Structure 1
Amino acid sequence: MSKQEPTSVVPPVAGIRLDLWLWAARFFKTRSLAKQAVETGKVEVGGQRAKASRVVRVGDELQVTRGEEIFQVVATGLSDTRGPASVAQTLYAETEASRAAREQLRATRAAERNGYRAPETKPDKRARRLIKALGDIDAL
């Protein structure tokens, strides 16, 4: 007697949900934060806004805005589980232009705060009055 072979073969996973991929690639700490970022337009796939349920495939170009940083990446792998950072970095490849822009922005921010020195102690009564007086100037 011969065994019957299944008539339908399940193909391998061709894509994964966008919010799940962003979470697995460690762009966001939780899946709900990834979903919220997608819904508020901070994630674009192929230059267009996407929904959280959009399927990400290998080769898709994504632009992820996280705070002041903008990542332009190409999906190189798919995963629905969040692993260590070394594994998450294999899921995408950042473009050189994006990496250079982020480094430039980071250097600019560091230069801006380079001249600032935080006070070592709390302001005394006289200093608080001067600070308050400076704040009143803006109200004029």
Structure 2
Amino acid sequence: MATTTEKLRLDKYLWAIRVFKTRTQAAAACEAGKVKMNGVAVKAARAVSIGDQYDIKTEARKWKVEVTGLLHNRLQYSEAIKYYIDITTEEDKQFNQRVAATFYTGKRPSKIGRPTKRERRNLDEFMDGDEQ
């Protein structure tokens, strides 16, 4: 673990503890106001200190973490979790489970949207038969 006098950017810390997959995503979340300290949005370049508490909102879940150590490089998950304490409330954990159960797969739901070629032919036959 590093000493408290070293400087570490917030986006780099969030990337190193594996909250975000890339440092760019961490910086974008900070710029979008999705990372807060004491209810105030913080910038990506903010220096992280031991004892800081951050509220983080990602696409997958809400986090509330307390910094226990400064991590400059990305490590495997089992090592990275030693550098923060997850103090997420039970209410937010329930929200996280609800969101995960209804994720978007990219496919359109069945029987919604544009008709298939077969359905369009049936419609055309039906409409043409109506004119005679």
Q: Same-fold call, TM > 0.5?
A: yes
Q: Are 1:102 and 2:93 counterparts?
A: yes
Residue 40 of structure 1 corresponds to 32
For the residue of structure 1 that corresponds to 2:74, the secondary structure is coil
What is the CA–CA distance in structure 1 between the aligned matches of 2:46 and 2:122, rounded to whole Å?
55
Residue 134 of structure 1 corresponds to none
What are the residue-to-residue correspondences of 1:71-82 with 2, within 5 Å?
A: 71-82=63-74
CA separation of 1:33/1:109 partners in 2, compared to 1, >3 Å: closer, same or farther?
closer
Distance 1:108 1:68 in 2: 7
Q: Do the aligned residues in 2 keep the contact of 1:16 with 1:55 (CA within 8 Å)?
A: yes
Where relative contact order (Cα < 8 A, 6+ residues apart) is larger, the structure is 2
Q: Contact (CA 8 Å) 1:57, 1:78: kept in 2 or not?
A: yes
Q: Does the residue aligned with 2:70 lie in a helix, a strand or coil?
A: coil
What is the TM-score normalised by the length of structure 2?
0.69
Q: 1:18 to 1:128 in 2, by over 3 A?
A: farther
Partner of 2:62: helix, strand, or coil?
strand
| Structure 2 unpaired stretches of 5+ | 103-108, 111-115, 124-132
Matches within 5 A, 1:91-130: 91-97=83-89, 100-107=91-98, 110=101, 125-126=118-119
Question: How far apart are residue 110 of structure 1 and its match?
Answer: 3.3
Deviation at 1:92, TM superposition (A): 1.1
Partner Cα distance (2:50, 2:25) in 1 = 22
Runs of 4+ in 1 over 6 A off after TM superposition: 127-130
State the TM-score, normalizing by the size of structure 1: 0.65
What letter is aligned with 1:63? Answer: D
Given that 1:46 and 1:60 are in contact with CA atoms closer than 8 Å, whether structure 2 keeps it comes out as: no
| Contact residue 4 and residue 50 of structure 2 kept, 8 A | no
- Structure 2 SS opposite 1:55: coil
Q: Structure 1 residues 108 and 71, CA, compared in 2 at 3 Å: closer, same or farther?
A: closer
Amino acid corresponding to residue 102 of structure 1 in structure 2: K
- Count of matched residue positions in the alignment of Structure 1 and Structure 2: 113
- The structure-2 alpha-carbon separation of the partners of 1:96 and 1:129, relative to structure 1 and needing over 3 Å to count, comes to farther
Is residue 55 of structure 1 aligned with residue 55 of structure 2? Answer: no
Distance change >3 Å, CA 128–CA 92, structure 1 → 2: farther
Long gaps (5+) in structure 1: 1-11, 112-117, 131-140
> Aligned partners of 1:110 and 1:62: how far apart in 2?
25
